[in-house]
Amino acid sequence: MAYIFQEDELPKLVSTVPGRERVFFVSKELSHIDDMLAGIMRYKAGAASPYHYHENCEHFYFIMEGRGTVETPEGVTDVGPGSMIFFPAEDRHRLRAIEPLFYFEWQAPNRFKTTILDGTADDLLWEKVDGKVWVQS
């Protein structure tokens, strides 16, 4: 069975730390699988993820619009439209928007634990537009 979604019909998640929004179109809730988690992300200029890693989870970004930087133990790298960034499981990383960013994010499997190395527990809290709270594992 195929799932066809329209972005404006999907739940939007807004980070409790300002400047980040996400819309999933593949998740346990929407497509009833936990083999992957996929969606789009928007960061306002200056917004950043915490410095973190995911246990048991391969992770990638495909930047479609905007400019930013990716921080890893190897240093800081500029990214922009067309940049594809792959993080093997447990690789430490942070994405920061220099200008507004729009990108695709994919994580697999969707049975992972996120560990924050620089940030707070609030960095993992996302409010659904309908008022519920989604906690990233």
Distance CA 54, CA 90 (A): 5
Q: Convert the pLDDT of each residue in 88-127 to its tens digit.
A: 999 999 999 999 999 999 999 888 889 999 988 888 888 8
Distance CA 109, CA 100 (A): 28
Q: Convert the pLDDT of each residue in 7-39 to its tens digit.
A: 877 878 889 889 999 998 888 887 888 888 899
The domain defined by 12-135 folds into: Jelly Rolls (2.60.120)
Domain ranges of the chain: 12-135
Q: Convert the pLDDT of each residue in 49-67 to its tens digit.
A: 999 999 999 999 999 999 9
